């Protein structure tokens, strides 16, 4: 059970950390976070919902039973975390003159796609981890309780350390790289325990 819970704990931590990174960088780029905070949180939660729904639907339709889909999502999470600062920088590049005015108007809303992406990838993992643990003969109530508790514990750590330590001391690029390394650790751990148990 521990490998699945480690995956979901790091997911909760990384998901919350990326959301805080996105909130901080939005404030730095556009300067009006307070009127947009509801939209940012809403897009993240919308991504969580759709990610969870999409993963659950594929589990049911394609009968996913092994850890391969979970490992793939872990790898995607690593890549997204490391690429996120560059994607933010890309969205901040605008044209000149006439184009710049309209580009600047839509950029804050295009930025929400990055928020949605972080939520979507985070949401993918919950059904995958739950399905993996239930497949190991753990009861659904036990799995739901452990997954929920571990996610909240990870999210607590992610929000605490990202806002108070990582971003102020390391900056956006290094923080996202550390988040990527955290998710890489859970990916490697999943593969290691899977190979050892086979």
Query: What CA–CA distances, in Å, run from 130 to 4, 13, 48, 100, 161?
Result: 8, 17, 15, 46, 26
Q: How confident is the model at residue 191 (pLDDT cuts 50, 70, 90)?
A: confident
pTM of the model: 0.89
For residue range 112-166, what is the model confidence (pLDDT) as tens digits?
Answer: 999 999 999 999 999 999 988 887 777 888 888 999 999 999 999 999 999 999 9
Calculate the alpha carbon distances from 82 to 52, 117, 122, 161 in Å.
22, 13, 15, 18
Question: What burial letters (b/e) apply to 100-109, b meaning 16+ CB within 10 Å?
Answer: eeeeeeeebe
Which of the listed CATH numbers 1.10.260.40, 3.40.50.2300, 3.40.50.150, 1.20.1250.20 matches domain 2-197?
Answer: 1.20.1250.20
All structural domains of the chain with their residue ranges: 2-197
pLDDT tens digits, 38-71: 899 999 999 999 999 999 998 888 776 778 889 9
Lowest mean pLDDT among 7-11, 67-71, 74-78, 106-110: 106-110
Closest CA to 67 of 146, 150, 148, 125: 125
């Amino acid at each position: 059970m521990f490998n699945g819970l480690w995956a979901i704990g790091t997911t909760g931590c990384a998901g919350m950390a990326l959301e805080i990174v996105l909130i901080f960088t939005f404030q730095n780029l556009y300067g009006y976070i307070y009127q947009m905070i509801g939209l940012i949180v809403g897009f993240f939660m919308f991504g969580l919902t759709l990610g969870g729904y999409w993963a659950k639907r594929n589990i049911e339709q394609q009968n996913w039973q092994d850890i391969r889909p979970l490992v793939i999502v872990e790898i995607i999470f690593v890549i997204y975390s490391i690429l996120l600062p560059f994607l933010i920088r890309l969205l901040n590049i605008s044209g000149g003159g006439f184009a710049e005015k309209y580009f600047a108007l839509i950029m804050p809303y295009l930025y929400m796609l990055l928020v949605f992406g972080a939520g979507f990838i985070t949401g993918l993992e919950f059904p995958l981890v739950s399905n993996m643990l239930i497949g190991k003969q753990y009861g659904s109530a036990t799995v739901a309780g452990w997954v929920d508790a571990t996610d909240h514990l990870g999210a607590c750590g992610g929000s605490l350390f990202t806002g108070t330590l990582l971003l102020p001391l390391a900056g956006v690029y290094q923080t996202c790289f550390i988040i990527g390394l955290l998710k890489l650790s859970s990916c490697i751990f999943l593969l290691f325990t899977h190979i050892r148990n086979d």
